[in-house]
Chains A and B, each alone.
Chain A
Amino acid sequence: MSLLLLTSGLAQGMILFLAASGLTLVFGVMGVLNFAHGGFFALGAFIVYSLTGGASIPAWQYLLLSVVGAGLVGVVGMAFEVVVFRRIYHLPHLDALLATYAVLLTITGAITQIWGVAARGQPMPSEFRSALRFGDAVVPVYDIALLVIGGLVAVGLWFLLERTTFGRSVRAISADRQMSASLGIDIKVVFTVMLGLGLGLAGLGGALVAPLVQLDAGLAAVFVIQSFAVVIVGGLGSIAGALVAALALGLLNSIMVSIDPALAGFSLYIGMTVVLLIRPQGIFGHRAERP
């Protein structure tokens, strides 16, 4: 396998991971598969577009503004949690799915309302446009940047969940909601923060994808389904699973495209179908459903 194939596959995988990590995080704690996730992903892309004014800016500024944009998306997400999502958690799976689908439509419409129908383009910072040479192989700098950022996010999430008091509360809640409440964990606050975090991650994913795609409201529907594929292959609720699945699917996609360009995008749905048929709980998932 050529180096380019490897890095571009892994970089695609990291984008998938950024899109899916928040989704699996939210499912793990709240037990809701959130269609609206894609809406916040698209929102992140559009907010960063507005923050940069659609101009080509230095790479460090772009990364900084991406984080700011992700933060803004997280705040919007927390507001949504308080107003809407709170009413969804107790519903049966399908109803919850449909309610979040309604939110997805609402956000998609809001994006059209704010940014209009015409597609926008976010220029890639010039530093990211160059490529590094490794012998014969040429690797785009942005692919490397994505790998680094994705890695940082994965490590950050691991640290947050496994090494902090907040993370301990989160794990307690996902294990036993009632018991955690009776031990004095403020479930409402944790849920609000978690949804803010999960959707903020979606926003970050969107912001980092912005220079690679055409920006229109359709982004939401496309990326939410790709994220679904990743979290299902990885196992609903598992961050490690999402990382492994995202990288594997990204790599698989880039290999398949190198065989025949017409196979682009298939790896996701093939992976999703195979996993659901053979191991419905996903690679890293547990058998137990939410109560």
Chain B
Amino acid sequence: MMERLRALPGWWRVVAAVVVLVAVMAIVPIFGSGAAVFFWGSVAVTALYAMSVNLLIGVAGIPSFGQAAYFGIGAYAVGVLHHEGLPILLVLLVAVLAAGLAAAVVAALGLRATGLAFSMLTLAFAQALYTLVFQLDTFGGENGIVGLLPESVLGIDLTDGTSLWLFTMTMVAAGIGGLWILQHSPFGRTLMMIREDPARTRALGIQVRRYEIAAFAAAGAAAGLAGALFAYVQGLVVPEYLFWTRSGEPILMSIIGGMRHFFGPVVGSVIYRWSVDVLSDITAAWVLWVGLAFLVIVLAAPGGLLGLPAQIRSWRSRRTIAPPSVTSVESLGDES
């Protein structure tokens, strides 16, 4: 096991990630207030959501702008099923499958279009879903569905904040672990190849469309898990989960952290949520500052925070660098 782990590129990052995860899981409830536990629980879920988007945009180069659809499907699956008295793990499974399936269908239909047209198609689907949920009383309409308080999982009581936190973190870790395995598998490498040069990948005999549909479904499933967990953490679902700005946020977080790094979206969502939390205490117009910061990052440091060392190195060595771009690459080997 350890041997195989060591053979992997960046294995120490995995070990470090597990250590950090366990530490965070322990430290937050010990030192944090109930509100802090709640806050960081929703941050963790958001991080998983951002990672799902990054699998598409950062890894596979599929420009999705409607990930809120699958996040929302996951959340609403919980909303609809919670009061049926089903076990939590089953509800989560349904949420993940529903979101993944919907994503697969959208990708299968939509990937005929490319680039901007595809972005707009994903956006249109998410907005149509938003409108649907907003108008239909079956889904609680404008007010959404409230009172989604999980009671227990596998006999473990979830009614207090700490146990819900531990459960949420375990699920988020499982989701992120799944994405890590996916991204470091031959499948994930093929996705990067497609991102770099779809035409050449096709020439190698790889069915690009199928890989893209599979990636879209996997990202949708991960977003669905995030959405379902978010519904439990917040205790409610509202149509806003599906609004298009909710598709923009995870992209924003991924860029802040760095799209070319596996943990970039995690770093990005922690920074994003934390700074929004701090800023919104100071001013109601916090979006102004978030927007400005984001603009500076997109234009000046498109590699994000984790991409900064590489960017500074390339400045120092005065090598000519590619024009700054969020979606252009430094090198394949740089990924981890």
Contacts and interface: CB of A to CB of B under 8 A. Distances in A.
A106 B327 CA distance: 22
Contacts of A132: none
A277 B298 contact: no
B124 A229 contact: yes
Contacts of A228: 120, 123
B51 to A, nearest CB: 18
A217 B287 CA distance: 10
Contacts of B328: 92
A270 B132 CA distance: 12
Given A99-B299, A102-B294, A116-B284, A264 B135 contact: yes
B81 interface: no
A180 interface: no
Contacts of B127: 225, 268-269
A117 interface: yes
Nearest to B326: A95
A97 interface: yes
B275 interface: no
Given A33-B116, A98-B298, A270 B128 contact: yes
Central interface residue in A90, A93, A217, by most chain B CB within 10 Å:
A93
A110 B291 CA distance: 10
Interface in A96-129: 97-99, 101-110, 112-113, 116-117
B21 interface: no
Given A98-B251, A99-B298, A277 B121 contact: yes
B77 interface: no
B30 interface: no
B285 A113 contact: yes
Interface of A is mostly: helix
A33 B116 CA distance: 9
B304 to A, nearest CB: 12
A84 interface: yes
Interface of B is mostly: helix
Contacts of B245: 221
A84 B302 CA distance: 15
Contact of A106 (B57, B117, B295): B295
A105 B287 contact: yes
A273 B298 contact: no
Nearest to A87: B299
A232 interface: yes
A269 B63 contact: no
Contacts of A263: 135
Contacts of A270: 128
Contacts of B124: 229, 232, 269, 272-273, 276
B115 A289 contact: yes
B285 A110 contact: yes
A112 B119 contact: no
A276 B117 contact: yes
A97 B118 CA distance: 13
B292 to A, nearest CB: 5
A91 interface: yes
A8 B121 CA distance: 28
A140 interface: no
B248 A101 contact: yes
Given A232-B120, A269-B128, A269-B131, A109 B326 contact: no
5 contacts: A93-B116, A103-B295, A232-B120, A262-B135, A276-B121
Q: Which 9 A-B pairs have the closest CB atoms?
A: A109-B288, A105-B291, A106-B291, A109-B287, A113-B285, A269-B128, A102-B295, A112-B285, A272-B124
Given A93-B116, A109-B289, 19 more contacts: A87-B299, A92-B327, A102-B252, A106-B291, A108-B288, A109-B286, A116-B284, A221-B243, A225-B123, A225-B127, A228-B120, A228-B123, A229-B124, A232-B124, A266-B131, A269-B125, A273-B124, A277-B110, A277-B113
